[in-house]
């Protein structure tokens, strides 16, 4: 019985050490709601609602920026979206700036409530001087779930 208790204590200590050194860490206690998960990545960014993103698209003013990998983009994406994974933001920054200066509203999206790609893309583009990049949280799934048109395979 003493060995079991020692192994349990050792396992807990190792687990705590790994948790504390992992970045980003998961909270010990907190809300696991979709809003709470999404907000972990959105600090300092502006989230756009599906309704507002749809209205901008219908007005021809949305510049959708798909932060997912190329394979996911090819399988399907929002209408007219540019595929810019975060690590390619520097190469695409000037083109995005020109489109924004022409009046388009940049909206980064990825898939999944806890997806960090679109907030990362928004931050990288803002660091290059692209103004007002918004994030559509869980954009791909929410757009399709609303029955809105998509492009791709």
pLDDT per residue, tens digit, the chain (153 aa), is 889 888 888 888 887 777 777 655 556 655 444 444 455 567 879 999 999 999 999 999 999 999 999 999 999 999 999 999 999 999 999 999 999 999 999 999 999 888 999 999 999 999 999 988 999 999 999 999 999 999 987
**Nearby residues of 62 by Cβ (< 8 Å), 6 or more positions away:** 53, 56, 80, 104, 105, 107
Q: Which two tokens mark 39?
A: 């907000």
Domain 44-145 of CATH type 3.40.250.10: yes
Q: Which two tokens mark 62?
A: 């949305």
Exposed/middle/buried for residue 20 (C-beta within 10 Å: 0-12, 13-18, 19+): exposed
Q: At 47, is the secondary structure helix, strand, or coil?
A: strand
Q: Interior CA angle at 61 toward 144 and 44, to 5°?
A: 80
| pTM, two decimal places | 0.75
Residue spans per domain, the chain: 44-145
What pLDDT is attached to residue 63? Answer: 98
Residue 43 is classified by DSSP as T
What pLDDT is attached to residue 36? Answer: 45
Q: What are phi and psi of 27, to 5 degrees?
A: -70, 145
What pLDDT is attached to residue 59? Answer: 97
Sign of CA dihedral 74, 75, 81, 84: negative
What pLDDT is attached to residue 16? Answer: 78
Paired residues of 28 in beta bridges = none
**Nearby residues of 150 by Cβ (< 8 Å), 6 or more positions away:** 76, 77, 78, 79, 143, 144
What pLDDT is attached to residue 87? Answer: 96
Q: What count of other Cβ atoms lies within 10 Å of the Cβ of residue 106?
A: 25
């Amino acid at each position: 019985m003493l060995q079991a208790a020692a192994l349990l204590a050792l396992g807990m200590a190792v687990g705590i050490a790994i948790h504390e050194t992992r970045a980003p860490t998961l909270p010990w206690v907190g809300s696991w709601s979709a809003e709470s998960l999404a907000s972990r990545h959105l600090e300092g960014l502006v989230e756009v609602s599906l309704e507002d993103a749809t209205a901008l698209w219908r007005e021809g003013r949305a510049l959708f920026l798909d932060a997912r990998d190329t394979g996911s983009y090819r399988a399907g994406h929002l209408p007219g979206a540019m595929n810019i994974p975060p690590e390619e933001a520097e190469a695409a920054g000037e083109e995005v700036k020109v489109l924004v200066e022409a009046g388009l509203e940049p909206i980064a999206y990825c898939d999944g409530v806890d997806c960090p790609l679109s907030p990362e893309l928004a931050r990288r583009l803002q660091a290059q001087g692209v103004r007002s990049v918004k994030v559509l949280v869980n954009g791909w799934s929410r757009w399709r779930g609303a029955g809105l048109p998509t492009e791709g395979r």
